[in-house]
Amino acid sequence: MSQPVLRLARLCVDYPAGDGWLGALEDVSFEVGAGRALGVVGESGSGKSTTALAVLGLLAPEARIAGGDILFKGASLFALPDAERRALRGNRISIVFQDPFASLNPSIPVGRQIAEPLALHKGLSDGAAGEEVRRLLAEVGIANPQQVALAYPHQLSGGMKQRALIATALACSPDLLVLDEPTTALDVTIEAQILDLLEKLRRDRGLSMLYITHNLGVVARICDDVCVLYAGRVVETGSAESVLRQPRHPYTKGLLASLPRVAERKHRLAPIPGRFPDLSAPPSGCIFHPRCHFAVDRCKTEPQVLDKDVRCWRAEELADAAWQAPAEQVDDAPVRVPAADGTPPLVNVDALTKEFRLGGMFNSSRVQAVDGVTLRVAPGEVLGLVGESGCGKSTLGRMLIGLIEPSAGTIGIDGGSQKENRRNAQIIFQNPDSSLNPRKTVEAIVGRPLVLHGLASGGDLRKRVVELLEMVRLSPAYLARYPHQLSGGEKQRVGIARAIATSPKFIVCDEAVSALDVSVQAYVLNVLADLRDRLNVAYLFISHDLSVIAHIADRIAVMYRGAIVEEGPVDDVLGPPFHPYTEALLSAIPDVERGSGVQRIRLRGDAVESGRHVRGCRFQHRCPRKIGAICESETPPVIEPSPGHRIACHIPLGN
Amino acid sequence: MLAYTLKRLAYIAVILMVMSMLIFWATQVMPGDVAQMILGQFATEDQIGAVRARLHLDDPIHAQYLRWASGLLRGDLGVSMMMDRPIGPLIGEAILRSAVLAGISIVFVAVIGIWLGVYSAVRRGSKTDRAISIASYFFISVPEFFWAIVVILMFAGTLGWFPATGYAALSEGFWTWLRHIILPVATLVSGLVAHVSRLTRSSMIETMQSQYVTAARAKGLPENVVIRRHALRNALVPTITVLAIDVGLLMGGIVVVETVFSYPGLGRMLIFAIEQKDIPVVQAGILSVTAVYALANLAADLLYAFFNPRIRYGNALAR
Amino acid sequence: MATRWPASFVVGASVFGAVVVAALLGPHIAPFPYDGIDIMARFLPPDATHWLGTDEFGRDVFSRLLYGGRLSLLMGIGATSVSLVVGVPLGLAAGYYGGKVDETIMRTIDLVISVPPILMGILILSMTPPNPWKTAIAVGIIYVPIMVRLTRGVTLELASEEFVLAARARGERAWYILGAEILPNAWPPIIVESALRVTFAIMLGAALSFLGLGVHPPASDWGLMIAESRPFIDSAPWVALAPGFVLCVTVIAVNLMGDGLREMLDPRLKRGRG
């Protein structure tokens, strides 16, 4: 076997923290073989981005290499003088960062930015570099390289920017391509396009890749090998196939058990309890033991080493043991009482429309963010609303709770007045860092809706707040805490407690779990499911993530450019017949189970924001199954393949 | 861009109109009878009456304003009461001399301030950076008028290198001119350089931490190229806004400096006119400073747009 | 959570506190009246009786310094208060309500801002006889636009935060949202800016009275003292240097305080790596 392109040998990296140091990476070892792709997987704080920066030699100046080595083709990178190390960067080793929106210099045309490494490392003249840039842009699938090369970053969509950045990284035909969450900031259909591109590039160029991600599905699609990081330590490595199918470390097991999946829908997920350890004072023994339900006394005292590719002394004996949900989440999970047939719907939305006026400095235009949406939600029902960014799903959700005035159409919630709606309809937001007022205690935050609506006062108030916290599995110890003292999942649960304080009948969950790590997301999803069953509250569950929706929803509505294109019970929507857009969304999900090699449907171009009303079908520009002129001229009819399952499409049933 | 410029010019015209009304109204309520002041304490009733009639002081205020404003539109700024000369050329010369002072200063402020800011941002935490920080702290905290006095005391008094006050035209020889202008410029520049360098430093530091600078380093570009090509231009965008604000501060400084150094510019003329209650000069003076200031702000905005492609180009390609 | 006060804040606040105390107690601790003319004791250099010497009328410079501080501080604190009291509510309203309210407020502000600060002061002060309160208000009005823009910007940012949306969703009234949700989070940048404004106001106030537009003799003010001593700068430099030095020290102290506050309050400096 040939020499690995990259080898990390017991690398340790520290950051200063207060008076001491925080071990961001501890004893990290792995290899990227020639022509192979290694996935480095971890949740936030696992040290995966530090790994990428260390390989590039771009660690922040305050970081300290506390030990170990990085070998590139067998030679230590730390032994190289600065100039030689720089000569490798962008030349032999290159990187694509997570956020394409921030990685391009806003004031330089894209083509000139791609040409920089060519001029620097290969000494190409302006003309030759320009030629090469256009060739690279074409290679990464950009249809009009000439134009894109001359454009400024803000003129390109996110997908195009990421393609341009990949072209930059490929410019000097590197031996190693480091990818740091390259698709995380992109919509799922665009992510699928970029992943296809990376797969093709690997095939065509025999690239070696270090692929850093939190997404196990992406690893399954792209990588040969995988290395799981937890709290700066490698807990398990191996071939992607074996690690994802037969995880050996409890953390990997937990991670996989936390994952909501389209194919296999469970009653409750099995999350990893507890919170991420404080790395400036890590727990003794195994770093994972406080969150591990397999942990025994020995785990609390004996630090673990990476042995036979896994950092757990019980790995062998636990080989067949599955990760269990924390006891309280299974045992007390309330039983759902299905609504009786013929119950009138709780939420009635008819022909709801929102038109925004976009005022530019020079011109203004009207935009139809939501265009004639009609919805029903039954009591205790979860309606999943899925769509990509800019499709109008958040605007729709905010109209339902009165945050945005509709331009036309009606909203009825349990036949109540607007004042009653304030209590009956609530919202849970996406961003745990922004959803709680940083200057208020948990008690004040959760208690305020009770005070406002006169539902509790005096000693009752605290009692009620404690009850609400218990419902989201937070102890009364949290009453006096401020948001900055909480973890992301805890903040989100406080937000949920606040939303249920007025005993609403309907809650809009606006990307309520999207900002959370997988294990925490599973915990919050379970809490939401419990509340639904215990309080019989209905959700409009808005998400871009079809797997999450598939897990929690009873019915799904698929939104595209301001309108619902398909709607129906979960099983009907997730199985054929499909609306072409739903089909594309489904096939775009990088799924742990499917891996690579499944036939995929890909959309052309980028997601188009809701806009002026178009003639014909609003999906015509990107539709892979467009049948002809009729799609451009006539609004598609609504067909109903089975009761309650509606598809707005010209394609006749049976095709 | 052209449409935007025209729109802004129209807005400036509106501002000047409103300001002219405000100025006119304000100067009318100035204490003291103008005719009395012109003629002195011993004037007779008749003489005062005659002057009042000549200056139309007995007309209703809106008629006086309209007469004044229509004069402005024809380029007639009125006649100085004290000097009994047309204000137009008088102010023209003064503005020119102030503009020389301001122009030289702003160039120095921009060049030295930006250079110092970038230098200390790049060497953040070093001794040089700390020295520059402390020095700029000090210079920001010293008011111009006190600084002027100290400078005069040192360089004109003790050392005797430069004349303490006065003005020499360029026609009197370059060196004479230079010797007279060095101290005023040094006084004006000191505080503003500190201001600009501090803000450039912080904006540069912020830019250096941006993702695209890391991306540029990841291409293997040497640090000086990263700074010059990728960081500097974007860091300068907020600095331009700061420079525009500083033009306002500079004008305040110019009034003070011209007074202290007896430099015959617009600022000294204005203070002199206020002391002497020479109302037409006050009116014309304030109005012209407002106009210059508004134009300077417009220039800054256009420069800002020039440095910012997001404004310069539309979003045409995003499909 | 124990708050650690940054050193710059401690130093700045101590010096500024001392200046404030001296100015408040000035009339009681001053060894001489501020306008006590003594022709026989003109231009005495500093000695044991006249700690900082005397000026051209034989007035005690140290005593005048103590009195003059009151005006400068009034200028700094008074003007900043005026700009806060007027500017913050306008900024909150403009940022929260948007639309026509925003448009009206901001166009008016644009008008005020289109006049260079010192001219605004000159214009206001040249209308009527000088009076320290009026000067403070004039300088305060000059700074209103900056406060409005700052507050509006912060409010706009906060108004789209999810906790504000949550408050609106549960039906809170505007005054509660502005007062209990937005304002407590908007204070840090406003406080930092206010500290900066105090220094600018002190300097601008001093400059105006230096130009003869602030207070009239024989009243005492640091800026005026420097102006009066100008003709004798060569023979009696202490008369100008003393107030100048005190002025600079005060300004530096407030600047230090502002930086300390920024260090404490700016979440960007606090937040570590993500």
Choice between A236 and C133, residue whose per-residue pLDDT is larger: A236
The answer to whether the Cβ–Cβ distance between A437 and C274 falls below 8 Å is: no
Phi, psi of B243 (to 5 degrees): -60, -40
Cα distance between residue A152 and residue B226, in whole Å: 18
Cα distance between residue A375 and residue A349, in whole Å: 5
C266 has pLDDT over 70: no
pLDDT of the residue at A594:
60
pLDDT of the residue at C272:
33
Could you tell me the two tokens for A517?
């790590």
Could you tell me the two tokens for A349?
């939305």
C: neighbours with 3+ CB pairs under 8 Å? Answer: A, B
Out of C110, C203, C241, name the one closest to residue B143 (CB).
Answer: C203
- DSSP line for A103-156: SS-TTS-HHHHHHHHHHHHH---HHHHHHHHHHHHHHTT-S-HHHHHHS-GGGS
Angle formed by the axes of helices C61-73 and C222-229, nearest 10°: 130
pLDDT of the residue at B319:
31
pLDDT of the residue at C224:
84
Q: How confident is the model at residue A361 (pLDDT cuts 50, 70, 90)?
A: very low
Q: What is the mean pLDDT of residues B46-54?
A: 78
Q: What is the mean pLDDT of residues A532-561?
A: 92
Pair A507, A428: CB distance under 8 Å? yes
- Evaluate whether residue C167 is within a structural domain: yes
A587-640 confidence digits (pLDDT tens): 888 877 765 445 677 887 665 555 555 678 888 888 888 888 888 888 899 999
pLDDT of the residue at C271:
37
Chain B partners within 8 Å of A152 (Cβ): 309-310, 313
Number of domains in chain C: 1
Out of B19, B137, B149, name the one closest to residue C255 (CB).
Answer: B137
Cα distance between residue A317 and residue A300, in whole Å: 18
A12-43 confidence digits (pLDDT tens): 999 988 778 888 999 999 999 999 999 999 98
pLDDT of the residue at C119:
73
Q: What is the mean pLDDT of residues C37-63?
A: 78
CA distance A80 to chain B (A): 14
Out of A87, A97, A147, name the one closest to residue B215 (CB).
Answer: A97
The answer to whether the Cβ–Cβ distance between C128 and B29 falls below 8 Å is: yes
Pair A361, A504: CB distance under 8 Å? no
Q: How confident is the model at residue C268 (pLDDT cuts 50, 70, 90)?
A: very low
Choice between A416 and A90, residue whose per-residue pLDDT is larger: A90
The answer to whether the Cβ–Cβ distance between B216 and A116 falls below 8 Å is: yes
Q: What is the mean pLDDT of residues A393-415?
A: 89
Q: How confident is the model at residue A62 (pLDDT cuts 50, 70, 90)?
A: confident
- Evaluate whether residue C168 is within a structural domain: yes
The answer to whether the Cβ–Cβ distance between B220 and A108 falls below 8 Å is: no
- Mean pLDDT for all residues in chain C: 81
Share of chain A above pLDDT 90, in %: 46
**Three-state secondary-structure class, residue C272:** coil
Which chain C residue lies closest to A510 (C-alpha atoms)?
C162
A418 has pLDDT over 50: yes
Q: What is the mean pLDDT of residues A455-478?
A: 90
In whole angstroms, what separates CA B140 from the centre of its chain?
Answer: 17
Angle formed by the axes of helices A110-122 and A158-170, nearest 10°: 10
pLDDT of the residue at A598:
53
Q: How confident is the model at residue C66 (pLDDT cuts 50, 70, 90)?
A: confident
Pair B193, B112: CB distance under 8 Å? yes
Out of B211, B218, B233, name the one closest to residue A89 (CB).
Answer: B218
Q: What is the mean pLDDT of residues A574-589?
A: 89
Residue C130: give its domain's CATH number.
Answer: 1.10.3720.10
The answer to whether the Cβ–Cβ distance between C169 and A426 falls below 8 Å is: yes
Share of chain B above pLDDT 90, in %: 15
Could you tell me the two tokens for A103?
């990685």
pLDDT of the residue at B298:
83
Pair C90, C105: CB distance under 8 Å? yes
Which chain A residue lies closest to C183 (C-alpha atoms)?
A439
CA distance B214 to chain A (A): 8
Tell me the one-letter amino acid at A600: R
- Evaluate whether residue C20 is within a structural domain: no
Question: Touching check for B217 and chain A: CB below 8 Å?
Answer: yes
Q: How confident is the model at residue A250 (pLDDT cuts 50, 70, 90)?
A: very high
pLDDT of the residue at A90:
92
B58 has pLDDT over 90: no
- Evaluate whether residue C29 is within a structural domain: no
A293-326 confidence digits (pLDDT tens): 888 888 888 888 887 888 888 888 888 888 887 7
Choice between C35 and B10, residue whose per-residue pLDDT is larger: B10
Determine which of A399-413, A593-607, C135-149 has the lowest per-residue pLDDT on average. A593-607
Q: What is the mean pLDDT of residues B15-28?
A: 80
| Closest CA relative to residue A339, chosen from A531, A538, A551 | A538
Share of chain C above pLDDT 70, in %: 91
The answer to whether the Cβ–Cβ distance between B220 and A87 falls below 8 Å is: yes
Chain C partners within 8 Å of B297 (Cβ): 114
- Evaluate whether residue C11 is within a structural domain: no
C134 has pLDDT over 90: no
Out of C162, C168, C274, name the one closest to residue A434 (CB).
Answer: C162
H helices present in A153-296, as ranges: 158-170, 188-205, 216-222, 240-245, 250-258
User: Which among A434, A446, A481 is the top mutation candidate for probing chain C, defined by the most C β-carbons within 10 Å of its own β-carbon?
Assistant: A434
* Domain containing residue C162: 57-266
Which chain C residue lies closest to A63 (C-alpha atoms)?
C273
Out of C118, C124, C126, name the one closest to residue B255 (CB).
Answer: C118
B97-122 confidence digits (pLDDT tens): 998 999 999 899 989 999 999 999 99
Q: Return all residues near B100 (Cβ < 8 A) that are at least 6 apart.
A: B181
- Evaluate whether residue C16 is within a structural domain: no
User: Which among B302, B317, B319 is the top mutation candidate for probing chain A, defined by the most A β-carbons within 10 Å of its own β-carbon?
Assistant: B317
Which chain C residue lies closest to B28 (C-alpha atoms)?
C127
Question: Touching check for C274 and chain A: CB below 8 Å?
Answer: yes
- Residues of A452-483 as b/e, b for ≥16 C-beta within 10 angstroms? bbebbeeeebeebbbebbebbbbeeebbeebb
**Which neighbouring-strand residues pair with A72?**
A6, A75
A422-441 confidence digits (pLDDT tens): 778 999 998 888 899 988 99
A: neighbours with 3+ CB pairs under 8 Å? Answer: B, C
Chain B partners within 8 Å of C122 (Cβ): 255, 270-271, 274, 286
The answer to whether the Cβ–Cβ distance between A105 and B212 falls below 8 Å is: yes
C255-265 confidence digits (pLDDT tens): 888 888 877 77
Q: How confident is the model at residue B250 (pLDDT cuts 50, 70, 90)?
A: confident
| Closest CA relative to residue C139, chosen from C218, C197, C90, C67 | C197
For residue A10, the 8-state DSSP code is E
Residues 497-536 of A with CB under 8 A from B: none
Choice between B8 and B29, residue whose per-residue pLDDT is larger: B8
Out of C161, C168, C170, name the one closest to residue A434 (CB).
Answer: C161
Q: What is the mean pLDDT of residues A141-156?
A: 89
Residues 231-250 of B with CB under 8 A from A: 233-234
Chain A partners within 8 Å of C166 (Cβ): 427, 429, 435, 495, 498-499
Q: Which domains does chain B have, with CATH numbers?
A: 2-73 (no CATH), 97-307 (1.10.3720.10)
Pair A242, A256: CB distance under 8 Å? no
pLDDT of the residue at A613:
56
The answer to whether the Cβ–Cβ distance between A498 and C166 falls below 8 Å is: yes
∠ CA A272-A278-A284, rounded to 5° = 85
- Evaluate whether residue C46 is within a structural domain: no
- Evaluate whether residue C87 is within a structural domain: yes
Q: Is the ipTM of this complex over 0.85?
A: no
C167-220 confidence digits (pLDDT tens): 999 889 999 999 999 998 888 888 888 888 888 888 888 888 888 777 777 777
Interface of A with C (CB under 8 A): 15, 17, 44, 398, 401-403, 419, 422-423, 425-427, 429-431, 434-439, 448-449, 452-453, 495, 498-499, 502
pLDDT of the residue at B315:
45
Residues 152-191 of C with CB under 8 A from A: 161-163, 165-172, 181, 184-185
H helices present in chain C, as ranges: 7-29, 61-73, 79-97, 99-113, 117-127, 132-159, 162-169, 174-176, 183-210, 222-229, 238-265, 267-270
pLDDT of the residue at C187:
84
